Chain A
């Protein structure tokens, strides 16, 4: 799929999904390109639960919400994004990448592209892959296959819901617990052969 096609798909696919499917409406029209800056405490919780020995690549860095916290913790971070949001290297389509830029990959991927992001990250990372995803990502036929055939090591479930507020957009309507979603950090580690563990953070 060309970049232009995918951009259109992202743009319009998300919008129609948001308006047509209640389960995906979180109180806001979905932000263009699924841009929801990661709450700071989500990244800090990951750093408290996992160690990353080496450089980290954030391939959907947005405005640097995750990258900044990792750098603050002393990591060297390679930041890139498809869209230029004034942080990292812009116009890098992660799904078209073929060269590893760091040992570990940590990101909050566009949810609609979560499966390709996970696959690509597992291809390119030699250490860990950590993805911030909805808990519902655990379920589904395609993902069942993905999990069975990948070294998923830990799922860190947030004990409290995370509030994602799309930058610059106004609330469309509030649903119960509007904007609050159940998330987890999914952590894969190359070489891990055991069963994935559930942790609460």
Chain B
């Protein structure tokens, strides 16, 4: 199979590529998606463009949302072979996903182009800090809210003994939901979930 830009990026430039799951596949624990839905409401449909095995899509569907699921890789759920970073503007109102961490910046920008309402991305809390992101992200985009997890949840690949559990090595990383809203004005606010 011909490698896409995203795949080759992950394989070539990720410094920890040997230890990362192939294509950065880490299913999202159900409670992380539920926590988002407890504080954010979405009007209209949702596109989950890195749906993996459907871990997040299933929770969104169960909450009554219309969900379009796609992924670069076909993992037996949703539409496979869709490179979100090359996709053109769709009619979806919102984007909700847990993007490959190495591609989070392009995902932010592409999501904001593809969604007319809200974008909710699960990312590391450390994304907030520096290294030029003030110019490339924060001053450029309508970030509305950052929802910080009060407790750590393991975000690991299936088969890992910690899959679906809390804590452990997967729990070493602090995550947050970053929510953009095209209608938001003013500074982003912080909340805890």
Contacts and interface: CB of A to CB of B under 8 A. Distances in A.
Interface residues of B, number: 28
B36 interface: no
Contacts of A175: none
B66 interface: no
Given A144-B148, A147-B192, A198-B187, A161 B131 contact: yes
A144 B174 CA distance: 13
B150 interface: yes
Q: DSSP class of A's interface residues: helix, strand, loop or mixed?
A: mixed
A138 B174 CA distance: 9
Interface in A138-177: 138-141, 143-145, 147-148, 152, 155, 157-161
Contacts of B149: 139
B133 interface: yes
A7 to B, nearest CB: 30
B129 A158 contact: yes
B187 A136 contact: no
B146 A148 contact: no
Contact of A157 (B129, B148, B192): B129
A195 interface: yes
A184 B130 CA distance: 10
B126 interface: yes
Given A139-B149, A139-B174, A160 B192 contact: no
Interface residues of A, number: 29
Nearest to A148: B192
Residue of A139, A152, A161 ringed by the most chain B CB atoms within 10 A: A139
A158 B190 contact: no
A144 B125 CA distance: 14
Nearest to A138: B148
B139 interface: yes
B186 to A, nearest CB: 8
Given A159-B134, A195-B189, A198-B188, 4 more contacts: A138-B125, A139-B125, A152-B190, A199-B187
Interface of A: 23, 135-136, 138-141, 143-145, 147-148, 152, 155, 157-161, 182-184, 194-200
A-B interface, 7 closest residue pairs, ranked by CB to CB distance from nearest: A144-B150, A195-B189, A182-B129, A197-B187, A139-B174, A159-B134, A200-B134
